[in-house]
């Protein structure tokens, strides 16, 4: 049923502005008959940062920014859903149009700029579904006009700790000027110190919510050394690698759209994001788990992320081109690999990381 409706709807959705199509998809997910429960292969279960994931395939941040449909997504088969980015105060983001499809490249460029309904609205929704279970992470970001960006992250940790399964600290969006500076030096040290403190302060009432940092794929390797060292020093629970890229691979076919400002995601991001994931994995030395994101569009690319060092994966852009059925397809391909090769998901994690880091840098 979902497949049929999707095949009918997709050509029409393609005619719409990308952001209008996204709004339609969110509204469709609010209608119960579209959503069915799916069975789960026990071999796909993953335990990471104290949480039991029914499968490793997560919905990436940015699809459900305001936590409108996390339960529909979980019922469709995602192992977890990352809502947000949420900012403390509501803000409208950049002027439209601000999301662009690169149809030939199966990529997306967005410069949304953290359009958020704000913490109060998102908290209300998450509190109303808190008893339902399922892993719902909250991706947090600073308001554009904030005079104390680190203070924004601290407030959001305090606010959402009772309802968040984990936090994704987004310091890697390219669309809020200066935000990526938080990935560096003293700023990063202050940020990590204060957010880990905040998490500990509220843990008596809220439990110890895992804190992950989400990084950019555009980091120089020297900066990555520093980030991993700081993350290990502050004992963060994991890293998400990573966000969209400001780079534009030369081979892009939609060359006019590629000139739009913003972060590029989807298939053209895969090689770069997977390389940075492997580079992160070899630096982390097992100190904490990694979530691999960027360009996953099949069982094969999902498996490549896992072999590059991810114990969990997330996707977004490929859903625009392949629809929500992709989630079930990826899971069944992963199941098939485990059945064929024997062993567990854990044993696959990072097996190719060292080899990937020895290859020429992807362009």
The residues binding ligand FMN (CB under 6 A) are 60-62, 65, 84-85, 99, 108, 110, 112, 139, 170, 173, 214, 243-244, 265-266, 269, 293-296, 315-318
Q: Which is nearer to ligand FMN, 17 or 201 (CB)?
A: 17
In the residue annotation, 173 being an active-site residue is answered as: yes
Q: Nearer to ligand FMN by C-beta: 18 or 348?
A: 18
Q: Report the run of H or E that residue 271 belongs to, with start and end.
A: helix 270-284
**Number of other CB atoms surrounding residue 347 within 10 Å:** 11
CB of 289 to ligand FMN, least distance (A): 17
Which two three-digit tokens encode residue 164? Answer: 């968040």
CB burial readout 151-190, b (16+ within 10 A) else e: ebbbbbbebbbebbbbbbbbbbbbbbeebbebbeeeebee
Nearest-angstrom CA–CA distance, 345 and 336: 12
What is the spatial distance between Cα 291 and Cα 293, in angstroms, rounded to a whole number? 7
Least distance (Å) between residue 264 CB and ligand FMN? 9
Q: Which is nearer to ligand FMN, 159 or 173 (CB)?
A: 173
In the bound state with ligand FMN, the residue whose beta carbon lies nearer, of 56 and 84, is 84
Q: With contact defined as beta carbons under 8 Å apart, do 262 and 174 qualify?
A: yes
Q: What is the DSSP string of 310-351?
A: -SEEEE-HHHHHH-THHHHHHHHHHHHHHHHH-S-HHHHTTT
For the bound state, the minimum distance from the C-beta of residue 204 to ligand FMN, rounded and expressed in Å, comes to 29
Strand (E) positions, the chain? Answer: 46-48, 51-53, 57-59, 80-86, 99-102, 107-110, 136-140, 167-170, 211-215, 238-241, 263-266, 290-293, 312-315
Closest distance to ligand FMN from the beta carbon of 175 (Å): 8
* Smallest separation, CB 119 to ligand FMN (Å): 14
Nearer to ligand FMN, 111 or 199 (CB): 111
Shortest spacing between CB 205 and ligand FMN, in angstroms: 27
| Rounded Cα gap, residues 113 and 177, in angstroms | 9
**Which residue lies nearest ligand FMN, judged by its C-beta?**
62
Q: How far apart are CA 66 and CA 24, in angstroms?
A: 15
User: Token pair for residue 204?
Assistant: 């008596």
Other Cβ atoms less than 10 A from the Cβ of 104: the count is: 11
Nearer to ligand FMN, 169 or 230 (CB): 169
> With DSSP H G I counted as helix, E B as strand and the rest as coil, what are the percentages for the chain, rounded to 5?
45, 15, 40
To 5 degrees, how large is the angle CA 2–CA 6–CA 8?
125
Nearer to ligand FMN, 159 or 168 (CB): 168
Residue 189 CB, nearest approach to ligand FMN (Å): 21
First-to-last CA distance in the chain? 40
Q: Per the residue annotation, which of 116, 172, 173, 317 is the catalytic one?
A: 173
Catalytic positions = 173
């Amino acid at each position: 049923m979902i497949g049929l409706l999707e095949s009918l709807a997709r050509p029409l959705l393609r005619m719409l502005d990308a952001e209008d199509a996204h709004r339609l998809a969110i509204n469709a997910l609010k209608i119960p008959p579209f959503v069915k429960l799916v069975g789960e292969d026990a071999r796909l279960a993953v335990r990471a940062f104290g949480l039991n994931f029914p499968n490793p395939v997560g919905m990436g941040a940015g699809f459900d920014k305001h936590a409108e449909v996390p339960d529909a997504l979980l019922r469709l088969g995602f192992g977890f859903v990352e809502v947000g980015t949420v900012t403390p105060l509501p803000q409208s983001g950049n002027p439209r149009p601000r999301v662009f499809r690169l149809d030939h490249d199966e990529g997306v460029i967005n410069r949304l700029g953290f359009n958020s309904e704000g913490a109060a609205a998102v908290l209300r929704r998450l509190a109303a579904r808190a008893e339902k279970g399922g892993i719902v992470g909250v991706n947090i970001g600073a308001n554009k006009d904030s005079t104390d960006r680190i203070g924004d992250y601290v407030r959001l940790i305090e606010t959402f700790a009772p309802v968040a399964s984990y936090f994704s600290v987004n310091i890697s969006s390219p669309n809020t000027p200066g935000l990526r500076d938080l990935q560096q030096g003293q700023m990063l040290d202050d940020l990590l110190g204060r957010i880990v403190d905040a998490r500990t302060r509220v843990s008596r009432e809220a439990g110890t919510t895992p804190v992950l940092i989400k990084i950019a794929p555009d980091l120089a390797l020297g900066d990555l050394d520093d980030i991993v060292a700081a993350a290990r020093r502050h004992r963060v629970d994991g890293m998400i690698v990573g966000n969209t890229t400001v780079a534009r691979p030369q081979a892009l076919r939609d060359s006019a759209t590629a000139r739009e400002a913003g972060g590029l995601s989807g298939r053209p991001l895969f090689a770069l994001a997977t390389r940075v994931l492997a580079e992160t994995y070899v630096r982390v030395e097992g100190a904490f788990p990694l979530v691999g994101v960027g360009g996953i569009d099949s069982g094969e690319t999902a498996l490549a992320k896992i072999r590059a060092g991810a114990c969990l994966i997330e996707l977004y852009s490929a859903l625009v081109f392949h629809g929500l059925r992709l989630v079930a397809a990826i899971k069944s391909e992963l199941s098939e690999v485990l059945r064929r090769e024997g062993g567990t998901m854990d044993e696959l994690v990072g097996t190719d990381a060292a080899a990937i880091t020895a290859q020429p840098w992807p362009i």
